[in-house]
Each structure stands twice: as structure tokens, then as C-alpha cells.
Amino acid sequence: MEETSALTLVRRLIIVAGIKKNEEGVIKRMIRSELVIVGGNAGGLQAAICAQKHQHLKDIIAIRPEEKALVPCGIPYIYGTLGDVEKNILPDKLFGDAKLKRGEVASIDRKAKTVILKDGEIIGYNKLVLATGSNPVEPPIPGADKRNVWFVRKDFDYLEQLASAMDSARHIVVIGGGFIGVEFADECHKRGPEVTIVELLEHCLQLICPEQLCVRAEDALRDRGVKVATSNTVKSIGGTDKVEFVTLESGEKIECDMVIIGIGVKPNTKLAEEAGLEIGPTRGIKVDEFQRTTGLDIFAVGDCAEKYSFFNSAPIPLRLASIATREGKIAAANLYSPQWRNIGTLGVFSTIIGETAISMAGLTDAEAAKVGYYDIVVGEAESASKHPGTMPGAESMRVRLIFARRSGKLLGGCACCAMTAGEFSNILAACIVNGMTMEQVALFPMGTHPWLTASPLAYQLTDAASNALHKVKGVAA
């Protein structure tokens, strides 16, 4: 009886002290933190930064499996412009006073409000933010398991191995003509090998950009020596142990010694699903307008979270680092009470191929029709990026805007080909989310400078809106 009582007392003391055993019987101490963030890339990092700024939290633990976090959008540039994976790292110092812990979370105990790491360590939380990101889509292509077939993973060691393998590559086939595929094709070509990009749709970037931008992008790729095979797909990857060729659905065989597959990502929701959190139609973790999941005190941000369109609140499969950071801010602001509302996701994209920069914000013509805007008005304008056009470095930039005819509101737009196109798409996004009409955009209060902008007499944004307004009312603003 005495021995039994003593054992019971020891067990109670262990529980009180927060000490538990893992599966191997190793005693681990359970610690607690006011805020635990699972994932340390764009969304998780932003949540940690903003929790310190907005909530003045010091007791934060961010857990990530990677020793080093990567700049997601910079991954293609490792292989050309940057030349080294080390040059594409998110500095850990950005976490500020938050404690950064390397480890992999195996499960969540919602009732106990704890996360359990694979090594058996248990961490308690008051608030939990899931920022588990996404994984590359791996299509069931026969031969995709051969050596020198690579995917676009956010993994430092894996990408270093890819860089080493690329040093001896003579011909690379890139599968997928979205932004990642196009950027990889352009950057890989800078290293010297032949590059062929294979895209299922009629044009590269077709899911994002209007046709004229797609054509400009493809022309730029071809001008730089990249071969483009659209309206086609890879039927199989051939070779003995290592890739030696790919066979297209058209029957064409392309000899190559490396394949890079970049056809998109899928949300990493395994941890959330096993914890019983609800998953949305596009397979992201279901969240409300405050980034709250269906679990008490649990938020989700970034690629793992479901997205909802700004235009009609329908679920959409958009996943970008810029979206993740915005959601990280929203979640951090709403940890204790609703403060900031997510008004919906708006796609804002930009890329550059050689000297051809293109950007897009909002809806394309086809997307506008899908969400119910069947009657649109298009306004276009083109002028030099500096004024006068004889200024050194001046280049032509063409802008195309689409408006809803009935309300006059701006729905989307694109720009090509000046280096300022990326920031131009951000201006468009601001106009769209604030419901600006063609009249308001035509009278946009711009500032100009000969070195920095187009002429006030030929400012592309206001001129394109004026042209749309003229079509509707027969007047120019």
C-alpha cells in the first residue's frame, strides 16, 4: 500500500510539473506559451511580427521544421540571378523577441490546448496560428520517380541538391507554364543549358493573365532561347535509372537530362485535418473573415488556409506569399477580439522575363464573366515610362483596364512591359478594393516626374480609364 501511494504521488508531481514521456519513454518537460505559431515562412513570420507590434506579446514560440526559411518567390532566381541558395534566406532576426524553435509538430490536442512535437516535446498554447504552407503538386506521370526529376520545394537542402545537379545539365524540361515554371525556365537558361517549357493550356500564364500578356511572355521566352511547347503535356518520363527524355501527348520525344515539375501547390492541411478542423472546398483550412478556424483559439494563414474571392466570396485556389503576409497581419490583430476583417482575396501578380515585365491585378475578361460581370468596358493606353520619351531608359508601357459597365467599377487590369509594371499592379489593387469607378480612376490624383513616371499628359492609368469612359458616355475625362 505504501509503495502504491508513493508511486501515485510521483505521478501527480510529474503532471503538476508538466513532465511527460514520449513514445520512447524519454521524459520531456511541457512548456506553455501565450502564442504558438506552427510554421515560420511568410505567413507565420508575419503573424509573429504583428503579434509583437499590435498585441505587444513577448511570449511567442514559432515552430518550423526547416533550419533555414526561404524567400518563396525568390526560389527560381537561385539558379540564375542569385546563383546560391544562401542568398535567398529569410533572416531569423525578423522574428524579433519571438522564440524560434526547430521541430516538427506531429499533432494538436485541442482539448488540452497543446501541440506535440515528433520528438515528444509538448508545448501548450493559449492562442495557436497554423501556417503550415503548401506542398508541390506531384502529378502521376510515369517515370516521375527517376533520378534528376525535381519539384519546387521550399527546402534548403533539397534546393542545394537541385543546384548541384543543374551544374551538369545540358537540356532541362520544365513542366508547367505558370509563374513558377516560366521563371524557372528563364533563370535556368541563364546557366547555359537548353530549356524547354511544356504547358497543357494554349498559352503559358493563361490561368492568370489575359491572352495578350501571355503572348508577350512567350515571345520574350523564345527571344531568350527558351523553347515553348503549349497545348501539350508530358505523357511519360523515360530513361533507365536517370531521366533521358520526355514523351509528349503529341508523340514528340524531347531528349533531356533534367526535369523540373512546377504545376502548382496543394495546401498542407494534414495536421489540421487530424486535429478535426474543417477543410474548405479548395482543400485549405476553413477560416472566417478574421482568419479563425473551426477550432477554439486556432487561426490559419497562408497557403494552408482557404481563400475567398474579393468579388463574390467564393472559395478560390490562389496562394501567394503576399496573400500569406496579409493574412498573418489579420490573424495577429484578431487574437483576442475581432479587429481586422479579411475583405477577400484579390490576385495581384507580376513577373519579368529578360526586359519584359508584366503584371496583373483583379479579374481578367474571362474571370469577370465567371463571377457575373458579363458586360464589361475596356480602356487601353500606351506611353513612355518617362517623359519626355527621349529620357535615358524610357520604355513603352501599355495598360489595359476592365470596368463593369453598369456600376463603372474597376474589376481588373494589366500592364506591360516597363520595369514599373509591378508597382503599377499594386496601384490597380488599391483602386479595385476601394471600389473606384472609371470616372474616379480617370481623375486619379497622380504625381509625376521626368525620371520616374510617364507624362501627366499621357499617364497610362488615367488615360486608359478616360478611354473606357469615352466608350460609355462619349466624353473624355
* E strand segments, 177-324: 194-198, 227-229, 234-239, 243-248, 253-255, 258-261, 265-267, 298-300, 307-308, 315-316
**What is the pLDDT at residue 417?**
84
211 pLDDT more than 70: yes
CA distances from 178 to 155, 175, 183, 207 (A): 20, 9, 8, 8
Let me know whether 314 and 389 are in one domain: no
Domain boundary among 315, 333, 351: 333
Let me know whether 112 and 156 are in one domain: no
Let me know whether 326 and 402 are in one domain: no
Let me know whether 273 and 370 are in one domain: no
10 pLDDT more than 50: no
3 state DSSP class of 193: coil
200 pLDDT more than 90: yes
Looking at residue 448, which CATH number applies to its domain?
3.30.390.30
Confidence of residue 475 (pLDDT cuts 50, 70, 90): low
- Rounded to an integer, the average pLDDT of 403-409 is 96
Let me know whether 466 and 401 are in one domain: yes
Q: How many structural domains comprise the chain?
A: 3
**What is the pLDDT at residue 123?**
97
Query: What is the CB neighbour count within 10 angstroms for residue 39?
Result: 30
Let me know whether 126 and 213 are in one domain: no
- Residue 16 in any domain: the answer is yes
476 pLDDT more than 70: no
**What is the pLDDT at residue 208?**
87
Let me know whether 439 and 467 are in one domain: yes
Let me know whether 21 and 115 are in one domain: yes
329 pLDDT more than 50: yes
- The count of C-alpha atoms lying within 13 angstroms of the C-alpha of 386, restricted to the half-sphere facing its C-beta, is 11
- How high does pLDDT run on average in the chain? 92
**What is the pLDDT at residue 418?**
78
- Residue 342 in any domain: the answer is no
Q: Does a cis peptide bond (omega within 30 degrees of 0) precede residue 140?
A: no
- Residue 183 in any domain: the answer is yes
**What is the pLDDT at residue 307?**
97
- Residue 214 in any domain: the answer is yes
Let me know whether 128 and 275 are in one domain: yes
Looking at residue 105, which CATH number applies to its domain?
3.50.50.60
15 pLDDT more than 50: no
Q: Which of 2-16, 133-147, 378-392, 444-458 has the lowest mean pLDDT?
A: 2-16
**What is the pLDDT at residue 6?**
43
- Rounded to an integer, the average pLDDT of 231-235 is 94
- Residue 312 in any domain: the answer is yes
CA 301 to CA 345: how far, in whole Å?
12
Let me know whether 250 and 273 are in one domain: no
Confidence of residue 30 (pLDDT cuts 50, 70, 90): confident
- Residue 344 in any domain: the answer is no
Let me know whether 102 and 202 are in one domain: no
Per-residue pLDDT of 416-461, as tens digits, reads 987 888 999 999 999 999 999 999 999 999 999 999 999 999 999 9
**What is the pLDDT at residue 147?**
95
**What is the pLDDT at residue 14?**
41
Domain boundary among 244, 263, 282: 263
**What is the pLDDT at residue 357?**
93
Per-residue pLDDT of 60-97, as tens digits, reads 999 999 999 999 999 999 999 999 999 999 999 999 99
- Residue 345 in any domain: the answer is no
Let me know whether 368 and 393 are in one domain: yes
- Rounded to an integer, the average pLDDT of 390-411 is 95
Residues facing residue 358 across a β-bridge: 351, 416
Per-residue pLDDT of 135-187, as tens digits, reads 999 999 999 999 999 999 999 999 999 999 999 999 999 999 999 999 999 99
> Could you tell me the residue range of the domain that residue 465 belongs to?
360-473
- Residue 282 in any domain: the answer is yes
Domain boundary among 234, 263, 292: 263
Per-residue pLDDT of 48-68, as tens digits, reads 999 999 999 999 999 999 999
Burial of 425-442, coded b for 16+ CB within 10 Å and e otherwise, reads bebbbebbeeebbbebbb
